[in-house]
Amino acid sequence: MFTHIKTSKANKEIVTKLTQKNNLGAENVIARIALAHSLKSEKKLSLKNLKDSGGKEYSRKVLFGNYEKYYLALVAQNYNLHISHQDLGKYVKLHLDDGLEILVEQINSKYSINSLGLIS
């Protein structure tokens, strides 16, 4: 079982910017939001697409807080895995990186539309 998760190098800056922009306090908050956002889509991500681990590092306790069992159960359920499966941490990482990318894409899209005056 894994003890730490690291975002991709590209997502390290995204974590910091989204946390500061939204005044979220600790950077684990945006990571939890990103993970949940990706899992909400019920996508099946492939381990072949696992990104580098050169970014922000979280211990399991920091990333999940008191809700570790719930987050891990959601990931395990999405892939029909046992919660102790050796690849569970890799799937968490996949969804963490995916969720961060989705969030920044949605925010950038919103600001582009706002700059055109289409959304108030």
Give, in order, the Cα–Cα distances in Å from 90 to each of 4, 33, 110, 114: 11, 18, 30, 36
Q: What single-letter amino acid sits at 115? A: S
In-domain check, residue 51 = yes
Q: Is residue 4 very low, low, confident or very high in pLDDT (cuts 50, 70, 90)? A: very high
- Structural domain tally of the chain? 1
In-domain check, residue 79 = yes
Is the pLDDT confidence value at 119 over 80?
no
Average pLDDT of every residue of the chain: 89
pLDDT at res. 118: 42
Is the pLDDT confidence value at 95 over 70?
yes
In-domain check, residue 86 = yes
Query: What is the residue range of 102's domain?
Result: 4-115
In-domain check, residue 120 = no
CATH of the domain at 97: 1.10.1220
How far is it, in rounded angstroms, from Cα 42 to Cα 44?
6
Helix (H) or strand (E) segment spanning residue 74: helix 68-79
In-domain check, residue 19 = yes
